[in-house]
Amino acid sequence: MQKYAMKMKINVFSESIDVLNYDVLTLGFFSDERPPRGYCGLVDWRLNGMISNLIAKGNIEGAFMEKVLISPNLRIPSSKILLIGLGDIAHLTYEKLYTAGHTISKTLSEIKCDDFAFEIPGTGRCDLDVSKMATTLISGFFDFLAENSRLSNGHIPTCVLGEEDHLAEIILGMHKFKVDVKKRAKIDITEIKNQNRDKEFFRGL
């Protein structure tokens, strides 16, 4: 039996943010989406427009690799929200998603957070293939951990959030990533069935 120096557990789910209880919920936001859309738009709605107000005041803008940590003030279960700027969604590339994954991993490590969830940003709103978007972002996330030996001491639970309409493609992308790194790490992937969704909100986006 092959012994792996690195291990990673990936949970993929489409739960509502109202039941997600993580220390840090990480979301992408784009400089050409006003108001924010996707999960960032949903969180903005739950926070009574807090993110939109920060954008309107010029405090944040969604520039590529802009990082903002905000408190939801108990309006959602997660303790903190980490926003990662991705520039214009019209110019989103796989390379930018890889960099975003690497940056998310590095930032969570810097703030010593092992209890987190992050989305695959921009799914269904750009011309990129969703499964490849998922593979690319998780690859960037993994590579930072591997470079810094953070996968050598057992499983690090990695929770990936996806809209239900794209969940199958995201899971496909995770399995493609598993194949890509099969000689480097043991990857366990679990799909967690949703209990409480925000379907009506996403239908309006």
Taken in order of first residue, the domains within the chain and their CATH numbers are: 6-194 (3.40.220.10)
pLDDT of residue 155: 63
Residue 150, pLDDT > 80, answer no
Indicate the pTM of the whole model: 0.90
Is the four-CA dihedral 16, 162, 138, 55 of positive or negative sign?
negative
pLDDT of residue 203: 47
pLDDT of residue 175: 98
pLDDT of residue 74: 85
pLDDT of residue 16: 85
**Residue bearing the bigger pLDDT, 38 or 205:** 38
Residue 90, pLDDT > 70, answer yes
